[in-house]
Structure 1
Amino acid sequence: MELRQLRQAVMLAETLNFTRAAERLHMAQPPLSASIRKLEEELGVILFDRLPSGVRLTSVGEAVLRDARLALFHADQVRRTAREGAAGTTGLLRLGFTGSAAYELVPRLLRAYRAEYPKVAIEIHESSTSELLRRIESQSVDVALVAYPVLEGTTADVALLRHERLAVAVHADSPLAQRSEISLADLAGEPFIIHSPTLAPHMHSIVLNAFQQAGVQPRVVQQAVQVTSMLGLVQGGMGVALVSAGVAGHVSKQVKLIELVGPGARLDLGMGIATLPGAETPTTRNFVALAHRVMKDAPAD
């Protein structure tokens, strides 16, 4: 039994005439008659009573045709789902991102992606850059927004999505909060909160590199993994921290971000988008293209 035979039977049930059914199916009448007869033989029942004026559905035929229409509907659904899946308009997108991306970048991209691909289910994973790259490599995440540049070996492809600036996060009551700009040399001796060297090695290395360029040795008092934790420690009076200026609109009134100037301030720093070459799904390719399109003319934070 083939879908073609079911379509023919449904058309015959609608017209109750072999000639008219054959015309609508764009085929000759004898092959249609033979196809319906073969379908009846395969099912072991008579679907149509042949009459001098046409045909009439048998009681069994009425029951079979109800399921035939349902089968054709589901077959069309399968085709539609396959086409949409191949185009990336349906399916699943597993998106990873770092804490700093969660403030502004992820909401911006998700709004645009949901507007363009409303049928795609999105599964989100927040973690460090190192962990996200491992998940990309193991294919448990499709695409990830990570710290750029990547400072460790990886089989993932990481492209720069946007440049970012570093800012100094200080408590609002700190004397440093009165400044409009600050250098790393001004932080010498200040208690400093840094990214964990084991759980957030990318940002840890970037920050130490900035201090090295400034010729300053930071007085590290605390380590943290995510930006939210660092800002919380700053708010709690534990020290100062270097964070992405992109979080400026999301800090509490008890924390102030100050523009970083001088040696170490202008690093090649940004947010990258990571995928695994050869493993990109249609939804992944669409997200990457959309992300670059959305960020193309957006100013760096």
Structure 2
Amino acid sequence: MDLRQLRYFSVLADTLNFHRAAERLGMSQPPLTVAIRRLEDELGAPLFERDSRGVRLTAAGLAALPAARAALAQADQVREAVRQGAAGLRGRLVIGFIGSAVGSLLPRIISPFRQALPLVELVLQEMNSVEIVRAIASRSVDVGLVRLPLMEASPVEIAVIERDELVAALPPHFEPVARGGRIPLGALAETPFILHTPVSVLNATVRLACQRAGFTPRVAQEAVQVQTILGLVQAGLGVALVPGRTSRSAPDGVRMVPLEEPIPIDMGIACRPDAGPLARNFIAMSLASDDTSTISQNSD
């Protein structure tokens, strides 16, 4: 018994006429008659009564018809699921994200995506940028929101989804005065720094920026989350360089001052070069939410 036979049975049950059923199925009558006979032989009971007055369903046929139609409907659902999966309209998508994406970026792209593709199961995993890139390469994560620039070569495609730059987070009563609304990084050389932990891209970015400014930062504390760093700045333990987009959530008393020489720290969305249609749909919709995005192949 196969779906073709069940479709023949269902159409004949609708028409109760072999000629009309064959026309609807786009076939001649004799093959339809043979197919119904074979189905009845396989099931071990007649499904139709045939006499001079026409064709009628038997008790066995009446009992089998709802199950046959349910099987056909289920098969149609399987076909539709395959079509949607191949088009990237349903499935399971694992997204790695860094903590600083939670504030505005993640809600900005996740909410519209859920509304547009409600059949997609989203699995969100927080990790640092290095872990995200490695997880994408190992196929345990499909796409990731990472901090740029990445500090090591990686076999992933990167698209800039959000542009930003570092700003100086200064504690209350900090003495150096910004010139023209900006502060030279060298003015912070003698001040203790609060850095992201070494696993963060921002740790290496800040250290490299300070080196280029002619000094090595004196690290007073390290922390994982930007809000923790800003809290330590508020407590007067030192200064910090943090993403400018965090200015809106700076605690009372912390001044967020741009640097004289901007240090870009864009946010990127990453995937494998052979990413499937579901990941590609997510990336396309994410990039559409920000017109500053550009696509590149990472080779740092």
User: TM-score normalised to the size of structure 1?
Assistant: 0.89
Aligned to 1:191: 192
Supply the distance in 2 between the matched residues of 1:207 and 1:219 (Cα, whole angstroms).
Answer: 12
Aligned to 1:213: 212
- Secondary structure at the residue paired with 2:251? coil
The 5 A counterparts of 1:102-251 are 102-171=102-171, 173-175=172-174, 180-197=181-198, 199-200=199-200, 202-251=201-250
CA apart distance, 1:244: 0.7
Contact 2:176 2:187 (8 Å CA) reproduced: no
Deviations 1:140-187 (A, max 9, x none): 11011111121113223333334311112234x333698643221222
Contact 1:99 1:228 (8 Å CA) reproduced: no
Amino acid at match of 2:190: G
Contact 1:177 1:258 (8 Å CA) reproduced: no
Amino acid at match of 1:122: L
Identity, % of aligned positions: 44
Aligned to 1:277: 273
CA apart distance, 1:13: 1.0
Deviations 1:177-224 (A, max 9, x none): 986432212222222111222x22x22111011112222332210012
Larger mean Cα displacement after TM superposition, 250-259 or 68-77: 250-259
In structure 2, the CA distance between the partners of 1:137 and 1:297, relative to structure 1 (3 Å rule), is: closer
Contact 2:163 2:292 (8 Å CA) reproduced: no
Contact 1:46 1:58 (8 Å CA) reproduced: yes
CA apart distance, 1:132: 1.1
Amino acid at match of 2:246: V
Amino acid at match of 2:82: A
Contact 1:184 1:216 (8 Å CA) reproduced: no
Deviations 1:260-298 (A, max 9, x none): 22xxx32343112221222x1221111122222222247
In structure 2, the CA distance between the partners of 1:270 and 1:297, relative to structure 1 (3 Å rule), is: closer
Amino acid at match of 2:132: L
Aligned to 1:287: 282
1:5 paired with 2:14, answer no
Aligned to 1:53: 53
Supply the distance in 1 between the matched residues of 2:69 and 2:160 (Cα, whole angstroms).
Answer: 51
- Secondary structure at the residue paired with 2:183? strand
Supply the distance in 1 between the matched residues of 2:230 and 2:53 (Cα, whole angstroms).
Answer: 84
2:262 alignment partner, one of 252, 262, 266? 266
User: TM-score normalised to the size of structure 2?
Assistant: 0.89
Unaligned runs of 5+ in 2: 294-300
- Secondary structure at the residue paired with 2:158? strand
Q: Which portions of structure 1, spanning 4 or more consecutive aligned residues, are displaced by more than 4 angstroms?
A: 176-180
In structure 2, the CA distance between the partners of 1:170 and 1:63, relative to structure 1 (3 Å rule), is: farther
- Secondary structure at the residue paired with 2:109? helix
Report how many residues are paired.
291
Contact 1:150 1:158 (8 Å CA) reproduced: no
In structure 2, the CA distance between the partners of 1:260 and 1:11, relative to structure 1 (3 Å rule), is: same
Contact 1:170 1:176 (8 Å CA) reproduced: no
Contact 1:170 1:177 (8 Å CA) reproduced: no
Supply the distance in 2 between the matched residues of 1:7 and 1:209 (Cα, whole angstroms).
Answer: 69
Aligned-residue Cα RMSD (Å) equals: 2.0
Supply the distance in 2 between the matched residues of 1:174 and 1:82 (Cα, whole angstroms).
Answer: 63
Deviations 1:203-262 (A, max 9, x none): 21110111122223322100122323322322343322111111222333353322222x
Larger mean Cα displacement after TM superposition, 157-166 or 18-27: 157-166
Contact 1:166 1:242 (8 Å CA) reproduced: yes
Supply the distance in 2 between the matched residues of 1:164 and 1:45 (Cα, whole angstroms).
Answer: 73
Supply the distance in 1 between the matched residues of 2:175 and 2:61 (Cα, whole angstroms).
Answer: 85
Larger mean Cα displacement after TM superposition, 34-43 or 248-257: 248-257
- Secondary structure at the residue paired with 1:74? helix
